Amino acid sequence: MARLAYGLAALVAVGAAALGLHGMFGGAFTLQIGWLVPLGGLQLTLDPLAGFFLLVIAVGVAPASVYAIGSAGGARRGLGAYLVFVVSMCLVPLAANMMTFAIAWELMSLASYLLVLHERESRESLRAGWVYAVMTHAGLACLLAGMMLLGAWTGSSEFADWRAAAPGLGGGARSVAFVLLALGFAGKAGVIPLHVWLPLAHPAAPSHVSALMSGVMIKLGVYGLLRASFDWLGAGPPWWGVAVLIVGAVSSVIGVLYALVEHDLKKLLAFHSIENIGIILIGIGAGLLYQGAGLEALALLGVVAALYHTLNHAAFKALLFLGAGAVVHATGTRNIEEMGGLIKRMPWTAACFLVGSAAISALPPLNGFVSEWLTFLALLQNTHLARPSLSLAFALGIAGLALTGGLAMACFVKAFGITFLALPRSEAAARAHEAPPAMRIAMVLLAVTCAALGLGPTWVVPALATVAGALLGDTPPVAFGDWLTLRVSEGFATGSALAIAAALGVALVALPLGLRVAGASRRRRAYETWGCGRIGQTARMEYTATAFANPFKRVFDFLYRPTKKLDIDFHPESRFFVERIEYENPTRSIFDDWLYRPVLDGLSGVARAARAIQSGSANLYLAYILAVLLIMLVLA
Amino acid sequence: MIAAIAVAVAQVIVVGAGAPLLVGVLRTLKARLVGRRGPSPWQPYADLRKLLAKEVVVSTTTSWIFRATPYVLAATMLVASLIVPVFLARPPLAFPGDVILLMYLFLLGTFFLALAGLDAGSAFGGMGSSREVAVAALAEPTIIVAVFALAMRAETIDLARVVERFSREPLLAANPAHLLAFAAFFIVMLAETGRLPVDNPATHLELTMIHEAMVLEYSGRYLALVEWASAMKLCLFMTLLANLFFPWGAGGLTGPAAIPLGVLVLAGKLVLLVIALAVLETTVAKLRLFRVPELLAGSFALAILSVMAVVLV
């Protein structure tokens, strides 16, 4: 029964992919059922952008559902919520009026809230669910306010009417709508500083749901931002773009820095989602700036880079979460300090996780590289704006993106190396077993997708350009070279993923052959690891994840503000015999301490002050009513 | 087509075969500067031959990552040598080189090498990996921003066209931005290739070491590949430095004599850079590990200043 339902979800994904591809290549339809939903009826429209996001959803949902067949087994818990979650996500990009959108959006949030509460028994889960519920509804409040303002100003709740009427609105009104909508969507996307729910909620859910929340659901925030800024409101003042660009750069760098010191595997991946959303926002910000300056070809490039990264992130983040799920399934822990050596016991999972790690670190020839490369190219051409002050902002964006790339590589050396390599660090890791076939199939599918998206940019980019072109309005068609070589901005840069991959392949084949021709010795001896003469190697001699991240903790201590706790029990006879050592080096979040804590404290302060007039006596409340009535009468 | 393939092969051969000599010359020079006789400049070739003839000792703790890494590392360097303009401005096989691809290829090598460092499960390897990725990550923004400054002057990020443009219009280089970007790039080269004052390439057992700690478990032909790849990385970075910042002679040569002439010109430029590096390495001491980020931050500041100079001057 449960297996059948997950199979059905996979079929829904296949259907969504077909519909999405149809929409991306110009297929359009409108579905209207007036009686189903109040205030305008259910209204769904397929356009290229909606089609693209349906495809992104399908890329995540299909493997996640196949994986769930293996991991969930016959368990029914969360099954209904999962199906509602999948269907409501598919409805969000199709919604064509305010009410349809709001209902689909809220259904998606509620279903994922139930899935976050999967382990209702743990306090951690309950807290995650609570923070998620509060943040997502704060975002919804912003969204509804923005949408209702737009509805009131344009006199319609249909998105098509907003598109037509928005250019006629005043600059101030459009900026107010932009800020409200952007806040709402950025909250769902997990942009810093609205990210606090993300590292709590994503790990709490079962792994196939984490894969969907991180890989797909937060992308709908990106969808909303694209829809609101390019489609509904049209070209805006430069500060919209600068704001999105800077928020993106900050999110990417800080997201990856938090990931570096995180040793809960699923939390680490959740922080990387914040980083990747940042990279996507950098592309969107560049697109907004270029569009505002009338540079359509460059705006197109920025949006194409953002869309490509959206698709890529859906593929590799789903892959990594599924891999993490398999590891957690096998070892029963999420703490990578208790893992190690899994590559020998879980070779398939390890290989897939390695592909995902290389892809998210933007290493050629995988997909992450292509989209980061395109983002770099969009940023590097800012001299066309002819505004020195903007060029400097762009230079910092470029530096942020480059730093993010390097730090992500460092973080995944840690994540893969400590989890899968060397000796097992715990009993559970030593007894780990490979994931069941359905889970392996799902991971291999996604790994192949990552490789294909990395090798085939010459086919993907033109398709994304049609989506971006339709979003930006009437842009002249842009050529992107032939099947082998991608030419960007009329030869500003060219690149060929296929050629690089082929050259790497040739070199990898030629090197062993060359060594043989050169007469190199082929003898090999297995022996223990060299260890300065100590006898016997144990896992306690290995480098830990904490130690691995320590250089970063020292360099960026202004962000982490690490505190050190060292607790040693000596032997009563002599100080030179240590019985027990406890070392902790936790970090503190500046966003919790400096942003959320003061706000929450302020709120409780107000509530405490209000308690003074709340005595609980009915007579007093009647007196209040009388007083207010009198005041109203006097004022009237 | 045949000419292009010939140039490609020539370029790989020049980098692949010349890199050990570059390291040898550097070592000899350093020895002379401190008053030792030192080994012959050809010593690295003898070392490689010796390593190739020896058997490999592989730790039983390791996985296929450890055994694959030397090949991946050497392969990335060989592919990188097709992208860098070595003796002709336009790299062969129409490999549309741009610096972002190059930097991420180097990162690919670092990624695998750092994983291999963790694979054997010894504390040395993990320490080396952790430090190596930290230095690589912090060096990354400087490279891209320094090249961005050059690209703004040359109006392209295609390495070939940067070289062509600068050799055609030498006056473009007469700008403070050029000097600042050069300084930034030079510091990053020291960090990326593990030279003093960031890392000490001459020692195997020192608590402050980075690169050498990471490759401690390697032996035999694996070590030969890793050493060869490191030499190629140094050679590629110095070539890049030479051709991007002093492009004269690299572009514009045509005809059958172009390759030998280009190689000669390149050799001349590299010798000057090697002398500078040898003098630097004999006069500075190694920095404490946690002072290295300050050096890298300094180079990043230089790169940003260079961009500002392009915009303002």
pTM of the model: 0.93
Which chain B positions have a beta carbon within 8 Å of A402's beta carbon?
103, 140-141, 143-145
Please report the sign of the dihedral spanned by the C-alpha atoms of residue A211, residue A214, residue A219, residue A220.
Answer: positive
> How far B189 CA sits from the closest chain A CA (Å)?
15
Confidence bin at B205 (pLDDT 50/70/90)? low
Output the pLDDT for position A49: 93
Beta-carbon separation of A529 and B122 below 8 A: yes
Which chain A positions have a beta carbon within 8 Å of B301's beta carbon?
none
> How far B73 CA sits from the closest chain A CA (Å)?
9
DSSP secondary structure code for residue B216 in this structure: T
Q: State yes or no: pLDDT of B2 exceeds 80.
A: no
Output the pLDDT for position A250: 93
> How far B27 CA sits from the closest chain A CA (Å)?
25
Output the pLDDT for position B1: 66
Give the residue-averaged pLDDT of B260-279.
Answer: 89
For residue A595, the tally of other CB atoms under 10 A from its CB is 14
Which chain A positions have a beta carbon within 8 Å of B151's beta carbon?
380
**DSSP tally for chain A: helices H, then strands E:** 26, 7
Long-range contacts (CB closer than 8 Å, 24 or more residues apart) made by B44-50 = B44/B20, B44/B227, B44/B231, B45/B20, B45/B21, B47/B227, B48/B20, B48/B224, B48/B227, B48/B228
Q: Where are the domains of chain B?
A: 2-312
DSSP secondary structure code for residue A215 in this structure: I
Type of residue found at B115:
L
Output the pLDDT for position A344: 92
> How far A365 CA sits from the closest chain B CA (Å)?
9
pLDDT, one tens digit per residue, over B7-50 is: 778 888 889 999 999 999 999 999 999 999 989 999 999 999 99
Beta-carbon separation of B107 and A406 below 8 A: yes
B60, B111, B130: residue with CB nearest A548: B130
Q: What length does chain B have?
A: 313
Where do the DSSP E strands lie in A458-564?
486-488, 493-495, 524-527
ipTM: 0.94
Q: What is the mean pLDDT of chain A?
A: 89
Strands B56-59 vs A524-527: parallel, antiparallel or unpaired: parallel
Burial category of A107 from C-beta neighbours within 10 Å (exposed 0-12, middle 13-18, buried 19 and up):
middle
d(CA A232, CA A225): 10
Q: State yes or no: pLDDT of B132 exceeds 70.
A: yes
Q: Where are the domains of chain A?
A: 235-509, 590-635
B120, B156, B312: residue with CB nearest A492: B156
Which chain A positions have a beta carbon within 8 Å of B154's beta carbon?
none
Beta-carbon separation of A388 and B312 below 8 A: yes
User: Which is nearest to A154 in space by CA: A258, A234, A264, A83?
Assistant: A234
Beta-carbon separation of B118 and A499 below 8 A: no
Beta-carbon separation of B79 and A500 below 8 A: yes
Give the residue-averaged pLDDT of A38-54.
Answer: 88
Q: Which residues pair with A264 in a beta bridge?
A: A335
Q: State yes or no: pLDDT of A431 exceeds 60.
A: yes
Q: State yes or no: pLDDT of A536 exceeds 60.
A: yes
Residue the block writes with tokens 């066309």: A384
Beta-carbon separation of B101 and A400 below 8 A: no
DSSP secondary structure code for residue B286 in this structure: P
B59, B71, B78: residue with CB nearest A527: B59
Which chain A positions have a beta carbon within 8 Å of B165's beta carbon?
none
A30, A43 in Cβ contact below 8 A?
A: yes
d(CA A390, CA A286): 11
For residue B42, the tally of other CB atoms under 10 A from its CB is 13
Which chain A positions have a beta carbon within 8 Å of B20's beta carbon?
none
d(CA B197, CA B187): 9
| Tokens linked to B168 | 């055609």
d(CA B160, CA A235): 36
Residue the block writes with tokens 């962000």: A559
Q: State yes or no: pLDDT of B92 exceeds 60.
A: no
Alpha helices, DSSP H only, in A434-486? 437-455, 457-472
Beta-carbon separation of B93 and A495 below 8 A: no
Output the pLDDT for position A281: 95
Type of residue found at A214:
S
Which chain B positions have a beta carbon within 8 Å of A526's beta carbon?
57-60
Percent of chain B scoring above 70 in pLDDT: 92
Output the pLDDT for position B206: 60
Beta-carbon separation of B52 and A519 below 8 A: yes
Cis preceding linkage at A365, omega within 30: yes
Which chain A positions have a beta carbon within 8 Å of B307's beta carbon?
391-392, 395
* Residue among B54, B100, B311 with most chain A CBs within 10 A, to mutate: B100
Beta-carbon separation of B110 and A409 below 8 A: yes
Confidence bin at A485 (pLDDT 50/70/90)? confident
Confidence bin at B254 (pLDDT 50/70/90)? low
Which chain A positions have a beta carbon within 8 Å of B155's beta carbon?
383
Residue the block writes with tokens 């010798």: B271
Cα B174 to chain centroid, rounded: 25
Q: Which residue has the higher pLDDT, B200 or B68?
A: B68
B78, B96, B155: residue with CB nearest A496: B96
Confidence bin at A166 (pLDDT 50/70/90)? confident
C-alpha count within 13 angstroms, C-beta hemisphere, residue B198: 28
Percent of chain A scoring above 90 in pLDDT: 49
Beta-carbon separation of B104 and A364 below 8 A: yes
Beta-carbon separation of B145 and A402 below 8 A: yes
